[in-house]
Amino acid sequence: MKILVIGGGGREHTLCWALKKSPHAEAIFCIPGNAGISQIATCAEIRLNDHAAIGRFARDHDITLVVIGPEAPLVSGLADMLRAEGFKVFGPGQKAAMLEGSKSFAKEFMRRHNIPTAPFQVFTDHNKAVEFALAAEGSVVIKADGLAAGKGVLLPNTPSETAAAIKKIMVERAFGEAGTKIVIEQCLTGQEISVMAFADGRHFAPMIAARDHKRIYDGDRGPNTGGMGAYAPTRIIDEEIMQQIVDAVIEPTVMGMHKEGIPFVGCLYAGLMMNEDGPRVLEFNVRFGDPETQVVLPLLKSDLVEVMMACADGELELEKIEWSDEIAVCVIAASRGYPGKYDKGAVVKGLDSIDNKWTTVFHAGTVRDAEGIIATGGRVLGVTGVGISYEDAVAKAYGGIEQIRFKGMQFRSDIGYKAGVARKSGVKRGQGARFGERRKR
């Protein structure tokens, strides 16, 4: 069958790469794709909010299955439109995508279904929000209700930062309409992990738990990014804890959505804080995580096309999903300046010497021009290493990324070290690998 993937980042490169391994995949198409994706799929420049043009493209290219990578087209209803036209779609409809599209919807849904999460209140009035936040015991987290490209969560440290955070979202409208409403919730502590699950509306299959590294600098310092690296599986999760997560979070979410008449089909992502009280949901995403996908899908032994078709057809129950018992580590190379305003246009060198069975380069923000591969994104690419131990996977990922060079390239030198890998001297430090910044929290 012919498959269309929507999106153009590292997640979508990984999706195309994993789908292509299937004997069912006759051809892969990607809108808009990137330089790496174009090596394995036919890419087309269509704007993601032009749903009609995407539908036309899918019809013209005789597509059977559409896999939607990013949240924005899901939240704006692309999956519903394509389903109505008869395509098989991996990705939730607009209403189910509210789990990510509206933080107040997600929090109230969790309250209705007794899913563990931080205590919270929702506000549309700026003064009431400030009054509540300043009177709250302990630290609070301020979240813009709507989509804010991963930037809408603020973690203030002092009363004046708290007031400024609320003002930034509700008055200055730093995230536009996303800030009409806010969620104020208790700040939780513990270890963060990401658990994703395939879902067909009624049934689900959890994937291997992953750990993302959100901060820009080594030692989890500096501002949050889209994710500077990841590894899977996480060491803190054994079978018993995974079962606890499934029972407390994944199952009640999938069943709750089903009962409310908005079945969830696609990848359900739960961002969790783990502490002695068990898992607490920090956020839901309605799509694969980036860069978690780059470490989870390389460990999938089953045929991804079959799994996704089973989700689209409501037949996931019949699928037996198998995972490798290896370890995967992904290190992201970012442009100078990221996650702020970043450089664009550097020529990426050294890519040819890397790809092999155990080390794979997934492109995120790249285009190809006459000079070669050009870095155009904040996150430029990620190198995933797969090994028989954390040490082995870390060595493969770093062995790969050290072959790559572009002007202003920065990467963290401690990805995977939370899993207990001893830091090796001789690991080349990325530019971002600084300890100078004072840790705030």
Q: Which residues bind ligand AMP (CB under 6 A)?
A: 118, 141, 150, 153, 185, 187-188, 192, 214, 271, 282-283
**In the complex, what is the shortest distance from the CB of residue 287 to ligand GLY, in angstroms, rounded to a whole number?**
8
User: Going by C-beta distance under 8 Å and a sequence separation of 6 or more, which residues neighbour residue 380?
Assistant: 332, 333, 334, 335, 348, 363, 364, 365, 366, 406, 409
- For every residue of 325-375, DSSP letters joined together read S-EEEEEEEE-TTTTSS----PBPB-GGGT-SSSEEEEESSEEEETTEEEE
Go through the chain and tell me how many residues it has. Answer: 441
Least distance CB 278 / ligand GLY (angstroms): 21
Query: What is the closest distance, in whole angstroms, from the C-beta atom of residue 185 to ligand AMP in the complex?
Result: 5
Distances (CA, A) of 427 to 330, 413, 436: 15, 7, 19
| Contacts to ligand GLY from residues 32-51, by CB under 6 A | none
Q: Which stretch binds ligand GLY (CB under 6 A): 82-90, 287-295, 373-381, 412-420?
A: 287-295
Q: What's the distance, Cα to Cα, between the start and end of the chain in Å?
A: 50
Q: Which two tokens stand for residue 432?
A: 């971002």
Residue 192 or 306 having the CB closest to ligand AMP? 192
Q: Assign 435 to helix, strand or coil.
A: coil
Q: Does 285 bind ligand GLY (CB under 6 A)?
A: yes
Quote the least distance from Cβ 149 to ligand AMP, whole Å. Answer: 9
| The one among 289, 365, 385, 400 contacting ligand GLY by CB under 6 A | 289
Cis peptide before 32 (omega within 30 of 0): yes
Residue 227 touches ligand GLY, criterion: CB under 6 A: yes
Q: Exposed, middle or buried by CB within 10 Å (0-12, 13-18, 19+), for 261?
A: exposed
Residues 6+ apart with CB under 8 A from 404: 333, 348, 349, 350, 351, 354, 361, 381, 383
Binding part of the chain for ligand GLY, among 162-170, 286-294, 372-380, 425-433 by CB under 6 A, reads 286-294
100 binds ligand GLY (CB under 6 A): no
100 binds, among ligand GLY, ligand AMP, none (CB under 5 to 8 A by kind): none
Please state the closest distance from residue 16 (CB atom) to ligand GLY, in A: 17
Taking the complex as a whole, the smallest distance from the CB of residue 436 to ligand GLY amounts, in Å, to 25
- Smaller CB separation from ligand AMP, 92 or 271: 271
- CB-nearer residue toward ligand AMP: 141 or 178: 141
Which parts of this chain interact with ligand GLY (CB under 6 A)? Answer: 150, 212, 227, 285, 289-290, 292
